[in-house]
């Protein structure tokens, strides 16, 4: 498990433009219960064209409690370190995790850090409500240098946390423009298509990978190809198995069986990632997200974790993200589509030990989460043979990844995790209600 992270300031010079550079703009790219996410350009060269949007940092600002965001950061660092340990421990683990990418956790700014906010407001154009909040808290819109920050204002904000905490990570590139266009044309109501294409927020979108939403669930829920009639957004767009296969067919011209192979490959990767969180990071993985984003990475450049956390020495984003996929595999087909597979959002993760309640806690988190994971297949009157067979293949691929990772870590402390018991309880709960 991770240790408590300390306040970290190393990446500021890397992320803050020099005074000679023009002011750059923060843009909101997402929001959730824990915080609002902005993109921050690293330099002027990253924002000259829309295709360079991904060459930015992602800054998540605490919405309510800075403690929740700090917990997110600590879990993020712990999972990043656990992925590195797993890949270094076993070649099999490295292969199972080859297609998984994780945004690198760069820095955590505690609530009320007026010096950090003064530098940001001086060098970046912040959204108006936030810019005004910074101006009022620090005591004037013309900050000059840090000496203009009054000691009383600093003391007040440090006590009350008036200015929000910030979690800084590398940004996940948005889906390629071709993917955005296809999803809008395929699933948006016809009279909203032009508006959806013109909506700039859709250009920032990632897509959630819902492997637990197979064909029978689509028909049961009445999920069709038309979005709600009043509006359409790609923010938090959910890709069911059928939608994901269709997208893969359109993006790189694979056969239908080739698309199915990619989906099963993602299920295996997902299982291995969950096993790392359970067995190595000792987290229940509650409410984590698996998404498709772009694969063109300005953020592939190595970022040493010595610069960002004493709790994860020697960790580098080049080791986490710049993985070479074996030629001729499903992972290669995914890369050729211009997309990549990411894990994110850890603010609700809970620590699990090795006592009798640990597996129950992990199983609860598995079913509480959105339907990212494949579900154990159960025979029922509502399922056809084809639907059951599809669910069985996906679940088997997920189990192969999960138990394969557990087996690869047998000779480490992580090998104490009862992975087979976790899988058995998931199957029992869904199919037998116990």
The answer to whether 202 and 234 have CB atoms below 8 angstroms apart is: yes
Largest separation between any pair of C-alpha atoms in the chain: 72
Mean predicted lDDT score pLDDT of the chain:
79
pLDDT at 177: 92
CA distances from 361 to 365, 366, 407 (A): 6, 9, 21
Q: Is the pLDDT of residue 433 over 80?
A: no
pLDDT at 162: 78
Say what the pTM is. Answer: 0.81
pLDDT at 320: 38
Q: Is the pLDDT of residue 303 over 90?
A: no
Tokens representing 98 are 């080859």
Q: Characterize the bridge pairing of strands 56-62 and 35-41.
A: antiparallel
What digits encode the pLDDT tens for the residues 271-295?
999 999 999 999 999 999 999 999 8
pLDDT at 186: 94
pLDDT at 143: 43
pLDDT at 55: 57
pLDDT at 148: 40
pLDDT at 378: 82
Q: For the chain, what is the radius of gyration of the CA atoms? A: 22
Q: Is the pLDDT of residue 412 over 90?
A: no
pLDDT at 128: 84
Tokens representing 420 are 């087979």
Please state the rounded mean pLDDT for residues 89-117. Answer: 95
pLDDT at 348: 96
Q: Is the pLDDT of residue 41 over 50?
A: yes
Phi, psi of 343 (to 5 degrees): -115, 135
Q: Is the pLDDT of residue 18 over 80?
A: no
Q: How confident is the model at residue 216 (pLDDT cuts 50, 70, 90)?
A: low
The answer to whether 163 and 137 have CB atoms below 8 angstroms apart is: yes
pLDDT at 22: 53
Q: How confident is the model at residue 26 (pLDDT cuts 50, 70, 90)?
A: very high
CA 287 to chain centre: 11
pLDDT at 84: 96
Instruction: Please state, for a pLDDT cut of 90, what percent of the chain lies above it.
Output: 53
Instruction: Please state, for a pLDDT cut of 70, what percent of the chain lies above it.
Output: 74
**Sequence spans of domains, the chain:** 91-103+174-434
Q: Is the pLDDT of residue 150 over 90?
A: no
Sequence-separated (6 or more) residues with CB below 8 Å from residue 222: none
pLDDT at 31: 87
The answer to whether 106 and 11 have CB atoms below 8 angstroms apart is: yes
Q: Is the pLDDT of residue 333 over 90?
A: no
pLDDT at 252: 76
Q: How confident is the model at residue 63 (pLDDT cuts 50, 70, 90)?
A: confident
The answer to whether 10 and 35 have CB atoms below 8 angstroms apart is: no
Q: Could you tell me how many residues make up the chain?
A: 434
What digits encode the pLDDT tens for the residues 338-361?
899 999 999 999 999 888 899 999
Tokens representing 237 are 């767009």
Closest CA to 27 of 40, 14, 46: 40
């Amino acid at each position: 498990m991770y240790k408590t992270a300390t306040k970290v300031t190393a990446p500021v010079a890397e992320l803050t433009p020099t005074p000679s550079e023009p002011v750059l703009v923060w843009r909101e790219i997402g929001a959730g219960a824990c915080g609002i996410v902005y993109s921050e350009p690293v330099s002027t060269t990253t924002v000259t064209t829309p295709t360079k949007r991904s060459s930015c940092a992602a800054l998540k600002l605490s919405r309510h409690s800075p403690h929740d965001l700090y917990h997110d950061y600590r879990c993020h660092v712990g999972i990043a370190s656990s992925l590195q340990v797993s890949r270094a421990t076993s070649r099999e683990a490295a292969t199972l995790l080859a297609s998984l990418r994780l945004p690198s956790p760069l820095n955590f700014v505690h609530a009320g850090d007026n010096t950090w906010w003064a530098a940001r407001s001086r060098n970046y154009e912040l959204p108006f409500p936030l810019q005004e909040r910074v101006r009022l808290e620090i005591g004037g819109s013309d900050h000059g240098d840090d000496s203009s920050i009054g000691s009383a204002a600093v003391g007040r904000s440090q006590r009350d946390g008036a200015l929000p905490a910030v979690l800084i990570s590398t940004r996940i590139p948005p889906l390629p423009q071709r993917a955005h266009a296809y999803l809008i044309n395929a699933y948006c109501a016809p009279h909203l298509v032009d508006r959806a294409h013109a909506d700039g927020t859709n250009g920032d979108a990632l897509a959630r990978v819902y492997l637990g939403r197979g064909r029978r669930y689509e028909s049961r829920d009445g999920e069709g190809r038309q979005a709600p009639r009043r509006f359409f957004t790609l923010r938090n767009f959910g890709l069911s198995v059928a939608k994901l296969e269709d997208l893969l067919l359109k993006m790189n011209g694979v056969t239908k069986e080739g698309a199915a192979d990619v989906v099963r490959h993602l299920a295996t990767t997902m299982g291995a990632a969950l096993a790392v969180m359970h067995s190595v990071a000792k987290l229940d993985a509650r409410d984590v997200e698996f998404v498709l984003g772009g694969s063109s990475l300005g953020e592939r450049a190595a970022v040493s974790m010595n610069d960002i956390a004493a709790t994860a020495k020697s960790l580098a984003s080049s080791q986490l993200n710049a993985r070479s996929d074996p030629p001729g595999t499903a992972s290669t087909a995914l890369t050729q589509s211009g997309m990549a597979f990411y894990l994110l959002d850890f603010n609700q993760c809970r620590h699990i030990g090795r006592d009798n309640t640990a597996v129950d806690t992990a199983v609860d988190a598995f079913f509480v989460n959105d339907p990212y994971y494949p579900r154990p297949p159960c025979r029922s009157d509502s399922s056809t043979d084809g639907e059951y067979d599809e669910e069985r293949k996906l679940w088997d691929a997920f189990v192969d990844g999960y138990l394969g990772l557990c087996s690869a870590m047998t000779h480490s402390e992580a090998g104490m995790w009862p992975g087979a018991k976790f899988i058995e309880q998931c199957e029992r709960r869904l199919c037998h209600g116990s």
